[in-house]
Amino acid sequence: MSQKVRVRFAPSPTGPLHIGGVRTALYNYLFAKKHGGDFVLRIEDTDSQRFVPGAEEYIIEALTWLGLKFDEGTHVGGAYAPYRQSDRKEIYRKYVDVLLDKGAAYIAFDTPEELESKRAAVANFQYDASTRGGMRNSLTLNGDEVQALIDAGNQYVVRFKIEANQEVLVNDLIRGEVKYNSSVLDDKVLFKSADNLPTYHLANIVDDHLMEITHVIRGEEWLPSAPLHVLLYKAFGWEATMPQFAHLPLLLKPEGNGKLSKRDGDRLGFPVFPLEWKDPKTGEISSGYRESGYLPEAVINFLALLGWNPGNDQEIMSMGELVQLFSLEKCSKSGAKFDYEKGKWFNHQYIQLRPNAEIANIYYPILEEKGVDVTLDYVETVVGLVKERVSFVKELWDQSFFFFVAPVSYDEKVVKKRWKEDSPAQMAELIDVLKNIDDFSAHNQEEIVKAWIESKGYHLGNIMNAFRLAVVGESKGPHMFDITAVIGKDETIARLQKAIQDL
């Protein structure tokens, strides 16, 4: 590629960013970075009806959390500013006039009521080459009439004049060449005098052109807009610099039938948004990956593989590796099932990969909330012993509470099964054995305790089970002597004494 790659993520701030939108942003980012290009954030807010306060901030916060750094955008500026379409109103008006002057667009005065009655009267009515001659527009009215209507304050729209029966080719980097007949398209509204704003289609094309975007990578739901966009580029005479299209496959429901929706998340209990979102109107809260305890690198890795693969079965890839390996050619055409269990698996993997000290830092506030007062070093040691058992930091407590607090009760079932008649006497003996151990390392304890068991002819399993019950209160936890080495000799002995008393 001779030209510098420039891609944009162009969300409309109509609510929280859906996880599919996050994947679109990610693929744009990976593609840009792979080619040493620019990653631009453009906010497409020309539909004032659907504007939701807080949505733009949410999008930026979510992508920042995930490590998708923009080179240009509403929040960082850049050479092509402004990046928010509502701040670019004057620019669009000029390009609407370009199309009007060329005869590629026309002014239409049909009121919503008139259009409605047309639709009621004519089956499958479409405002196009076959019908526009019977409507109230600058093609059927003369110049003076048009001017008089405008001067009288009548609202109007500007429509794109699409020639009937033309072949339109969309060259898609993922789907290959897709052919359309222009007759399927209606004369799309490009501009509305009512709010003096362009529609999505015009603003999108003009901005991609002015911002020198080289590749448009977006969700499959935008594929039907692509032929219209190709025709707009032609109408402006911009074919030579038209960006290349790549339409990403849909994210499908976990069962594979149909598009992933928020309802699937509610139904099956997984987030479909990167961050928690509170609906400003209803106050309804939707869960987010961040608040649910996902590590950003796990979310990235998970999403990267929903619609793309590196060509082999490698699954764990850092952002740097993804940038190296990513290519649009390896994106699939068919939809990707949203396997959220796989998302949990990735989180488990990344918890193992993160240094214990970092996991300890995330765990620490949870411990503080429980009133536990220990050093960060202590927590780090515990994390190292139990993290292989969890997929989320919040699950650590259940796997490690006994490192921080002595059991206050004992699991009844375990007591029945594992606290035998001679357990109290044996545990009393064990206390004496432990008392005499100076080097309380796990290894040394194990050697001495096992030698004692053997010399007495005790049953190894019975002793260790009772020992664990006394120290943990249940039958779980990592290697027994790893636990006692960490909690220390005094605490271990105290717990044994308490168990002898209580059980």
**68/373 Cα distance (integer angstroms):** 36
Applying CB under 6 A, the site for ligand GLU has a residue count of: 8
| Smallest gap from residue 44 Cβ to ligand GLU (A) | 4
Give the residue with the Cβ less far from ligand GLU, 40 or 385. 40
Work out the number of other CB atoms within 10 angstroms of the CB of residue 365: 10
Indicate the residue type of 118: K
| Smallest gap from residue 21 Cβ to ligand GLU (A) | 7
Binding mask 39-78 for ligand GLU (x = CB under 6 A): -----x----------------------------------
| Smallest gap from residue 218 Cβ to ligand GLU (A) | 4
In this structure, what token pair is assigned to residue 471? Answer: 């120290």
Give the residue with the Cβ less far from ligand GLU, 7 or 427. 7
Q: Could you say whether residue 222 binds ligand GLU (CB under 6 A)? A: yes
> Distance of CA 115 to CAs 110, 128, 192, 414, Å?
6, 13, 15, 75
> Distance of CA 403 to CAs 114, 366, 379, 412, 445, Å?
75, 14, 9, 21, 17
Give the residue with the Cβ less far from ligand GLU, 58 or 294. 58
**Span near ligand GLU by CB under 6 A; candidates 75-83, 100-108, 215-223, 382-390:** 215-223
SS3 letters across 374-393: CCHHHHHHHHHHHHHHCCCH
Indicate the residue type of 68: L
> Distance of CA 284 to CAs 21, 277, 281, 293, Å?
21, 8, 8, 20
**180/224 Cα distance (integer angstroms):** 9
Q: Could you say whether residue 12 binds ligand GLU (CB under 6 A)? A: yes
Q: Could you say whether residue 16 binds ligand GLU (CB under 6 A)? A: no
Give the residue with the Cβ less far from ligand GLU, 222 or 345. 222
**Span near ligand GLU by CB under 6 A; candidates 214-222, 299-307, 362-370, 382-390:** 214-222
Residue choice 7, 10, 104, 393 for contact with ligand GLU (CB under 6 A): 10
> In the window 299-358, what residues touch ligand GLU (CB under 6 A)?
none
Give the residue with the Cβ less far from ligand GLU, 40 or 317. 40
Residue choice 7, 11, 344, 469 for contact with ligand GLU (CB under 6 A): 11
DSSP 91-133: HHHHHHHHHHHHTSEEEE---HHHHHHHHHHSTT---STTTGG
Q: Exposed/middle/buried for 90, CB within 10 Å: 0-12, 13-18, 19+? A: exposed
**443/78 Cα distance (integer angstroms):** 60
**Span near ligand GLU by CB under 6 A; candidates 6-14, 141-149, 233-241, 367-375:** 6-14
Give the residue with the Cβ less far from ligand GLU, 222 or 236. 222
**457/379 Cα distance (integer angstroms):** 37
Residues taking part in catalysis: 262
Give the residue with the Cβ less far from ligand GLU, 13 or 477. 13
| Smallest gap from residue 125 Cβ to ligand GLU (A) | 27
Residue choice 215, 218, 247, 348 for contact with ligand GLU (CB under 6 A): 218
Pairing of strands 157-160, 105-108: antiparallel
**47/51 Cα distance (integer angstroms):** 7
| Smallest gap from residue 385 Cβ to ligand GLU (A) | 46
What is the binding site for ligand GLU (CB under 6 A)?
10-12, 44, 204, 216, 218, 222
